[in-house]
Chains A and B, each alone.
Chain A
Amino acid sequence: MAKSLHNLLPQEVLSLAIAVETRNAERYDTFAHIFGSYNDEATALLQEMRDEELEHKTVLEAMYLNRFGDKVCDIDESDVDEVVEAVDVDSAEHLIFNDLTKRDVLEAALRAEEGAREFYISLSESEQDEELLQLYRRLAAYEEGHVAGIKARINQIGTEKGA
């Protein structure tokens, strides 16, 4: 049975954060596959976002190794009730109208990263032991960095034609 994030141990939380990045990379990959050849720019961006998620994963893995060594902790998104961060397009009909843009992709990424940040912030304000709270704060700060990065990219393409 799935459990709540509130009941996880610090090691499980970090392990889950790694799994979330992996799954998001998979989701980007799936969307890139689905939208491939409809819109090359949007597809290339989806692939880029996939690679970024894999980079995030590597950073989190280093964090995990530093803290918990090589002790394996098997936990995945499906083991918890909540959705931490899941990138998703905003419309069921993008393929029909062939209207997915780079901006749509970045906005989808932003929603996911903001969701994750809010999630970790809310957890860091809950009643937990200090070690876990520290971890949540670090994860929230980490996601904040991603949010800022994506916002900057959205601003950058804001004036691009057809974005």
Chain B
Amino acid sequence: MIRDTDKMQLRVIQPEVYPPPDRTDLFKKFPWLSKLAKMRAYPNVLVIPNLVMFWIFLLAGIFGSPAGNRNIMIVFIWILWWFGLITVLVPLGSRSWCTMCPLPFFGDLVQRRAVTYVRKGNSAGTRNQLFGKLRVWPKKLSNIWLQNIGFLCLASFSAHLVTRPMATVLMLGGLIVIATITGYLYRQRVFCNYICPVGGFLSLYSMTSTVELRSRDKNVCKKCTSKACVAGSDKGWGCPWIIYMGKLERNNYCGMCTECVKSCPSDNISLFWRPFCSDKILKGYDEIWKAFIMLVLAMAYSIVLLGPFGKIKDWANIGEVGNYKGFAIYVSILWFAALIALPAVYYVAIRLGRGFASKGLEATGDGAAPSMKDLFIRYGYTLVPLGLMAWIAFSFPLMMVSGSYIISIISDPLGRGWNLFGTGEFPWTPFHPDWMAYIQIPCLMFGLFYSLKCGHELALDLWKDNRRAVTSIIPLAILLTLVTIAFLRMYTG
């Protein structure tokens, strides 16, 4: 069963012959990349330095200045890392952050009792030896609802998190503890698949990415009897994200750990360069609600962190202002907008579009209109390119206004007045704030363009008739345009 949408319709816009002409096989073009991916030390050569940095940041969070802009943890994580992640890593590298992420390191260590070595064996449905309880994650929680709720919870406290190092320490420390405990109790990367709040939005926006890991020849996969990509072998661990590469059609749940590249006996997996927004299939309500949440949060963050609304800023900033009533109002509006209001407006747009497009359908004998459920979930993808670009548009000012802290903080990571590299006195210097609109407007227009383009492709796929397809997405296109205008007004005043 393919989750909530109609199985037959899911194939249509996936390329039948793989790789299609618009893909470039990067492992063939750059053989060193393939060699790197096959090295047992990879990706730990990235994870371990990251882990060291992570601990340094945690220590800085505990022992450094409590003022956010004077603590390396806040500046590096909430400005540099966030900016790099959303503007470069996700759109150009899919879930490449997950390749190097330090959070699941100890959970993996508990399960594998190895850093680079692979154990052959027979546990948890793999051909590897794994340790711990290796339970199966409950079926009812086998979706991204926990990630959705977790992200909303964190987002509710975002103003506090980005200004108070200790709050970030507790959050990241908590995540690493949960990742390790779930690594002990459950099989493979349960934390990454179902719990990690960052994983949820990486999963959604990696669909737009210009790279993908896929098998080269689907017939080789069909003939393969070992399915070592998911089951593992003496060369690699069974996919920690429990993905079967032979049928992989979207980036969402591939953490790009390259274990499958190492274990595939036919050397049939490669990294492909591909057009922006190549994966277009959302498969469940949990995934589309993720898209609602992310779009609402992009707007909320823009209002709180960039907008001129002092009162709302105060409400959100519970830690500093302590206005509990205001905070309750802010959080209620945020959750209502993300979980109910936007989905409801979206639903109305889809319903209207369906009504317009299906007029006279039975009379012409063209068959039935796609179900509301299919339309609701499939059209949800239109929120993805716009959502990603709204986040990028939000993140540029963050970097341009506060990026100069990075220079001073390198010399004074704990905010103690040190001057290690002679840049400790570097003043706060916003970088061309007058350019912001020139970056944000094209970002949003680009996002809107892709949302409409993908919406049209999805509509054609569902309706099989251009006139009906276009008619069906007109109300949705109006909604997306209004959302874009709201962002533009916010950014350009």
Contacts and interface: CB of A to CB of B under 8 A. Distances in A.
Contacts of B225: 23, 26-27, 30
Contacts of B2: 90-91
B325 interface: no
Interface string B392-426: 00000000000000000000000000000000000
B243 A34 contact: no
Interface in A19-54: 23, 26-27, 30-31, 33-38
A159 interface: no
B223 interface: yes
A11 interface: no
A33 B231 contact: yes
Given A96-B142, A98-B136, A83 B247 contact: no
A83 B219 contact: yes
B223 A89 contact: no
Interface stretch (A55-63, A99-107, A148-156): A99-107
A101 B1 contact: yes
B245 A30 contact: no
A67 interface: no
A38 B230 contact: no
Contacts of B219: 83
For the complex, would chain B's binding face be called helix, strand, loop or mixed by DSSP majority?
Answer: loop
A102 B1 CA distance: 10
Interface in A120-135: none
A78 B224 CA distance: 9
B280 interface: no
B249 interface: yes
Contacts of B223: 23, 77-78, 83, 86
A96 B193 CA distance: 7
- Most B CB contacts (10 A, CB to CB) among A34, A83, A101 go to A34
Contact of A90 (B7, B142, B143): B7
A30 B225 CA distance: 7
A34 B243 CA distance: 11
Interface string B199-241: 0000000000000000000010111111100110000000001
A12 interface: no
Given A83-B222, A92-B244, A92-B249, A31 B227 contact: yes
Contact of A95 (B143, B221, B242, B246): B242
A93 interface: yes
Interface in B280-301: 283-284
Contacts of B230: 34, 95
B125 interface: yes
Interface in A62-115: 77-78, 83, 86, 88-101, 103-104
A98 B142 contact: yes
Interface string B6-43: 01000000000000000000000000000000000000
A58 to B, nearest CB: 19
Nearest to A77: B223
A147 to B, nearest CB: 18
Contacts of A31: 227
Contacts of B284: 97
A92 B3 CA distance: 12
B247 A35 contact: no
Interface string B243-275: 111111100110000000000000000000000
Contacts of A103: 1
A95 to B, nearest CB: 4
Nearest to A112: B222
A27 B224 CA distance: 8
B137 interface: yes
A91 B2 CA distance: 7
Contacts of B143: 97
A45 B244 CA distance: 19
Contact of B253 (A77, A90, A93): A93
Given A33-B231, A90-B247, A38 B3 contact: no
Contacts of A36: 125
A31 B229 CA distance: 12
Given A30-B226, A90-B7, A92-B244, A98 B139 contact: yes
Interface string B339-379: 00000000000000000000000000000000000000000
Contacts of B249: 92
A86 B253 contact: no
A100 B245 CA distance: 16
A91 to B, nearest CB: 5
Contacts of B245: 92
B204 to A, nearest CB: 14
A110 B7 CA distance: 15
A158 to B, nearest CB: 14
Contacts of A35: 125
B231 A92 contact: no
For the complex of A and B, the 3 pairs showing the least CB-CB separation, nearest first, are A95-B242, A86-B222, A26-B225
Interface of A: 23, 26-27, 30-31, 33-38, 77-78, 83, 86, 88-101, 103-104
Given A95-B125, A99-B3, 20 more contacts: A26-B225, A27-B224, A30-B226, A31-B227, A35-B125, A37-B136, A83-B219, A86-B222, A88-B246, A90-B2, A90-B7, A90-B247, A92-B244, A93-B253, A96-B193, A96-B242, A96-B253, A97-B284, A98-B142, A104-B1
Interface of B: 1-3, 7, 124-126, 136-137, 139, 142-143, 193, 219, 221-227, 230-231, 241-249, 252-253, 283-284
5 contacts: A27-B227, A37-B125, A77-B223, A89-B247, A93-B243
